[in-house]
Structure 1
């Protein structure tokens, strides 16, 4: 690309990169900026008012923030889902100031927690630490959902996303909602996910959060969340009117409404069966993985042992690597191939030890005893009989030369 064309190309590239920012710069009043028409139309199609109550769910592992909105029948349905730009830390709750951990739990968001003048475009404070967190002495401040796509313990969105999220909350408060709940969860509390994370140090904490998650899955209504006896409790109706739930005190006598309790009992039974099945599945997969790793390690050990033996043989051979047998066959010397290197074939082809000197025989014994056989590695080799040359000549087939005076191995290799 020529310099002149490059100069024409750069502004086009920058325009593509800053398109979203240009759209936001055109927003004259971000605090009161209306929700996009496509969302308004979607709400109407799902029997939702623009000012009906909302609830939000955050799933760390999936990296998703969901906005749920109340329909005409009082139940909630999802209206928007956003990919979280950044969140810091790992799965599990926040413990102390400076650990850069995004919180997990149930948090109430009141109008006073909305920040229209945020340094991160727009934001709302999650209200960490809540009464549950404080009951365990957990510390931290300014934990938010905000824009600017940067995080040090917060859930960070893009500016364009937070403009919509802020608009949903603003309109719900205008409709009279006193506060909305944010469920900040490590993952969707399915049997498979819980089975996969069952060995985590936070598993008991997540089991507690799961009760509120399950209640919402059953009712599609945000759970009533309280804290007592240093535990989250959900949809509890006190037996005594106006009984208080105190985080560090025992829970007052209370129970879940009968309809919900019955539905939850059946749900839990089915869920526990699915969880047990998932555990068996993951245990089997882990066992297969362990067996595969052990087999791999054993094979590597055998290869290392064979290599050590090979190196030992090379060292014993004065550093010379034995020529491969196939290469000797290819060279046209099969006998050398058979006798190359250690092995049973080489033993057969090895020269026989020299016979010990026999005692002097008499003339009669010389005439009657057969001449000692010659062998090749212990294998008898037929020898020509000098006393009967005529018989040898007659044994030759017509048209073939007499080969009786050739060594056995030469005849074999030629045939």
Structure 2
């Protein structure tokens, strides 16, 4: 009788341990699902309707412009006519440092330049609600031996080198990126700019050590403003160039000479 009681007690203990383990596994699985599901939240109906109003859809290509000085992020979408139109502007909660590019790891500077965001750079499990990596360092940054890692656009309104959005804002922006990739697009262009690239703003900041760099960026933003098509960017002579090389040929050498007789999609303008 004593042996039976001990055996029954052991069975109860083992059953309780098994139940506890199952509960832990279930809880962990639930947390993991919740984390993954953040990246699958549907686009708001009003935003999809806004896309339709400008002649676009979630699957169409997109482009993002960021302006540090005014703390704005713009999402542009390709329309039925083939040109891009402004879809929506979002306030940036916080960015780090001052006007000017990121130079080295730990300088707490939010980057500037032209970047391409691919599906691999999306992070649905971000500790900052949702995020995507901007792609720093890119070809230009690497040519100048600039360093830095994990530079993101994310939620939570907290920045130590990133561009921080509201959680509501990053949910929409992330969902738009997700849907444009689902539409078969391999990347979207990200233009990280110090300010709106007007002559007046450039004149205001003419004494900055970054003035020449900003002039290069303006060539790219002007190309977009004229054509409403994201310009093809590349790097030669350690500077940005736009619509300069024939995309059917090999990329330019970032440290080499720029082409003498460039291919240009702006030639017809």
| TM-score higher than 0.5 | yes
Q: Kindly indicate which of the two structures has a greater share of residues assigned to strand.
A: 2
Structure with max Cα Rg: 1
Aligned structure 1 segments of 4 or more residues deviating by more than 6 angstroms: none
| Compared CA separation, residues 243 and 169, structure 1 to 2 (3 A) | same
1:243 to 231, 239, 250: 250
- Aligned mates of 2:40, 2:260 — CA distance in 1: 44
1:36 to 44, 52, 55: 44
Verify the 8 A CA contact 1:243 1:252 in the aligned structure 2: no
Moved more, 223-232 or 75-84: 223-232
Structure 2: unaligned runs, 5 residues or longer? 1-33
Q: Which residue of 2 aligns with 1:97?
A: 105
Q: Does 1:56 align with 2:64?
A: yes
Verify the 8 A CA contact 2:189 2:230 in the aligned structure 1: yes
Q: In the TM superposition, what is the alpha-carbon distance from 1:27 to its structure 2 partner?
A: 10
2:154 to 123, 129, 146: 146
For 1:167-206, list aligned pairs within 5 A. 167-206=175-214
- Aligned mates of 1:37, 1:243 — CA distance in 2: 42
- Aligned mates of 1:187, 1:262 — CA distance in 2: 28
TM-score norm. by structure 1 comes to: 0.55
Q: Does 1:69 align with 2:77?
A: yes
Q: In the TM superposition, what is the alpha-carbon distance from 1:255 to its structure 2 partner?
A: 2.0
Structure 1: unaligned runs, 5 residues or longer? 1-25, 264-415
Q: In the TM superposition, what is the alpha-carbon distance from 1:256 to its structure 2 partner?
A: 4.4
- Aligned mates of 1:226, 1:101 — CA distance in 2: 23
- Aligned mates of 1:58, 1:109 — CA distance in 2: 14
- Aligned mates of 2:223, 2:111 — CA distance in 1: 21
Aligned residues: 236
Q: Which residue of 2 aligns with 1:13?
A: none
TM-score norm. by structure 2 comes to: 0.84
- Aligned mates of 1:215, 1:128 — CA distance in 2: 23
Q: In the TM superposition, what is the alpha-carbon distance from 1:254 to its structure 2 partner?
A: 4.7
Q: In the TM superposition, what is the alpha-carbon distance from 1:144 to its structure 2 partner?
A: 0.3
- Aligned mates of 1:217, 1:59 — CA distance in 2: 15
Verify the 8 A CA contact 1:237 1:254 in the aligned structure 2: no
Secondary structure of 1:206 counterpart? helix
